[in-house]
Structure formats: structure tokens, C-alpha cells
């Protein structure tokens, strides 16, 4: 996985057909997805439940791009090895998920994954200073994590701008996650984001039987950001 700041669209399979992840992933990749975003929720750190390492391992066989695993779980550390073995390319933990995020990020890299750090909308960027050289990606949540289809929180645009300045020329992606559409994505790209997670805005209107809308939706987001 080489580093660059080109715009990458990462459909979140939280909005896909849960009984058909393999084909859904093949369809969005064929329709132009750059990464596949996989939301793991534990019903404790966030008020929703999805799935764990065995599902990620099953999904992995269908991903030909990058499997970007977003852990919305607490604790994180006991599960890092299992998600690494399941084939996560990027493994992202929340700053708010425990008292030892520094250790968690070390463990993620030691397990052979790119290390991601996610920040809830209410979390500032002051605590990120000491972590900047040990992360490959910072995910700025633009909704409160737990569900797809929520509205974009505009205060996070300025946060991304300030984070981008802090990162400087380090090879660290800024990912944004939640409420991303052709209207909100360009604000974030202008502020400095390069990985755009989108669930409902990519999967709406399509299905594995009719995947063309996935491509239209992905192109609409990309076009809005490059206009």
C-alpha cells in the first residue's frame, strides 16, 4: 500500500446487503471504489452491533483494493491480532476507546497493519500531537459513530483544516467518515481530507442485480471534489 494524497473513495459496507457482502464488494470495486471501508461495532463503544474478525476474514477474499477496518469497539487491544490475521490493511482504533491509545497504535503496527486513529466529533486534536509519527491515517468522524445515514456535522471541516496543518508533510492520510455526499465531500477535500468514506451516498439506488447506480454515485462524489 503506497502513500499518496489523491482522492480515494471508500464505500462503507454498513450500507450494503449484509447477506451478500462478497458480491457487493465486487460490484463497488468494479464501479470505481478505491478502498473498502468495514465498520466493526460492539454495542458498547457505540450503540450498534455489526460483526467481528471471522466476517472480516470472509470479506477479505473479495477485496482487491484496500480493506480499511474501522474498529468502534472498546477495549481494542485484545482483538488487534485477530483483525490483522483477518487481513485488515488499515486498522483504525478510536482515541476515546481506552486510556492507552499510544500502546494500541504500537500494537497495530507491530501486527503488520497500517495504523489508523479515529476521532469522535467531540474530540479535539490537541491530544494527537504525540501520536503523529505513529499513525498512517487519522479518521475524523463527521457524524457520531454507530449508524449510517446521519447528517454531516459541519464543525468538523475546520477540525480537518487544523489537522492538515499539524500533519505537515508526514505521510498520514486524513479520512472523513459520516454524512459524505457530493455536497459535503468537496468541503473536506478543500480542507485537506483524501480518503472519503461514504455508505448511504454510494449504495443508494443500486443493488448487486443493478450496480450501475453505485458507479454513478461514486463518480458524482469524485466529480464534485475535482470540479
Stretch that binds ligand DX5, among 19-27, 86-94, 139-147, 214-222 (CB under 6 A): 139-147
Question: Which candidate, 196, 198, 115, 213, places its Cα nearest to that of 160?
Answer: 196
Q: Which helix (H) or strand (E) holds 23?
A: helix 21-30
- Listed in sequence order, the residues at least 6 apart from 24 whose beta carbon sits closer than 8 Å to its beta carbon are 13, 16, 17, 203, 208
Write out the binding residues for Zn ion, residues 66-85 only, by CB under 5 A: 70
Site string for ligand DX5, 141-170 (x = CB under 6 A): --x-xx-xxx--------------------
Is 39 a known active-site residue? yes
- Listed in sequence order, the residues at least 6 apart from 15 whose beta carbon sits closer than 8 Å to its beta carbon are 148, 149, 199, 200, 202, 203, 204
When asked if residue 177 is in the footprint of ligand DX5 (CB under 6 A), the reply is yes
Buried b (16+ CB within 10 A) or exposed e, 186-196: bbbbebbbbbb
Which partner, Zn ion, ligand DX5, none, binds residue 65 by CB below 5 to 8 Å per kind? Answer: none
When asked if residue 25 is in the footprint of ligand DX5 (CB under 6 A), the reply is no
Which partner, ligand DX5, Zn ion, none, binds residue 11 by CB below 5 to 8 Å per kind? Answer: none
- What share of residues in the chain are helix, strand, coil (percent, to 5)? 40, 20, 40
Most distant pair of Cα atoms in the chain: their distance: 47
Question: Which candidate, 17, 34, 69, places its Cα nearest to that of 215?
Answer: 34
β strands within 107-201, DSSP E = 114-119, 137-141, 173-177, 195-198
Residue 143 or 172: the one with the smaller Cβ distance to ligand DX5 is 143
When asked if residue 116 is in the footprint of ligand DX5 (CB under 6 A), the reply is no
When asked if residue 179 is in the footprint of ligand DX5 (CB under 6 A), the reply is yes
When asked if residue 178 is in the footprint of ligand DX5 (CB under 6 A), the reply is yes
Q: How far apart (Å, rounded) are the C-alpha atoms in residues 206 and 187?
A: 26
Stretch that binds ligand DX5, among 53-61, 86-94, 128-136, 138-146 (CB under 6 A): 138-146
Beta carbon of residue 9, minimum distance to ligand DX5 (angstroms, whole number): 11
Which partner, ligand DX5, Zn ion, none, binds residue 8 by CB below 5 to 8 Å per kind? Answer: none
Is residue 155 exposed (0-12), middle (13-18) or buried (19+ Cβ within 10 Å)?
A: exposed
Beta carbon of residue 202, minimum distance to ligand DX5 (angstroms, whole number): 8
- Return residues touching Zn ion (CB under 5 A): 39, 70, 177
Residues that are catalytic: 39, 177
- Return residues touching ligand DX5 (CB under 6 A): 12, 14-15, 37, 39, 70, 143, 145-146, 148-150, 177-180, 197-201
Amino acid at each position: 500500500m503506497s502513500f499518496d494524497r489523491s482522492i480515494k473513495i471508500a464505500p462503507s459496507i454498513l450500507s450494503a446487503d449484509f447477506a451478500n457482502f462478497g458480491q457487493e464488494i465486487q460490484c463497488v470495486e468494479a464501479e470505481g471504489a478505491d478502498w473498502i471501508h468495514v465498520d466493526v461495532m460492539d454495542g458498547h463503544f457505540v450503540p450498534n452491533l455489526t460483526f467481528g474478525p471471522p466476517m472480516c476474514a470472509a470479506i477479505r477474499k473479495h477485496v482487491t483494493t484496500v480493506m480499511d477496518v474501522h474498529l468502534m469497539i472498546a477495549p481494542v487491544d485484545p482483538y488487534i491480532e485477530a483483525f490483522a490475521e483477518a487481513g485488515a490493511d488499515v486498522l483504525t482504533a478510536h482515541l476515546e476507546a481506552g486510556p492507552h491509545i499510544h500502546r494500541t497504535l504500537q500494537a497495530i503496527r507491530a501486527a503488520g497493519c497500517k495504523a489508523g486513529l479515529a476521532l469522535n466529533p467531540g474530540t479535539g486534536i490537541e491530544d494527537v500531537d504525540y501520536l503523529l509519527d505513529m499513525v498512517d491515517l487519522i479518521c475524523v468522524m463527521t457524524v457520531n459513530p454507530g449508524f449510517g445515514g446521519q447528517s454531516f456535522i459541519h464543525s468538523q471541516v475546520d477540525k480537518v483544516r487544523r489537522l492538515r496543518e499539524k500533519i505537515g508533510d508526514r505521510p498520514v492520510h486524513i479520512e472523513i467518515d459520516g454524512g459524505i455526499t457530493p455536497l459535503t465531500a468537496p468541503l473536506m477535500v478543500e480542507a485537506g481530507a483524501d480518503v472519503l468514506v461514504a455508505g448511504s451516498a454510494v449504495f443508494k439506488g443500486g443493488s448487486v442485480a443493478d450496480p450501475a447506480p453505485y458507479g454513478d454515485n461514486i463518480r458524482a462524489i469524485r466529480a464534485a471534489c475535482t470540479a
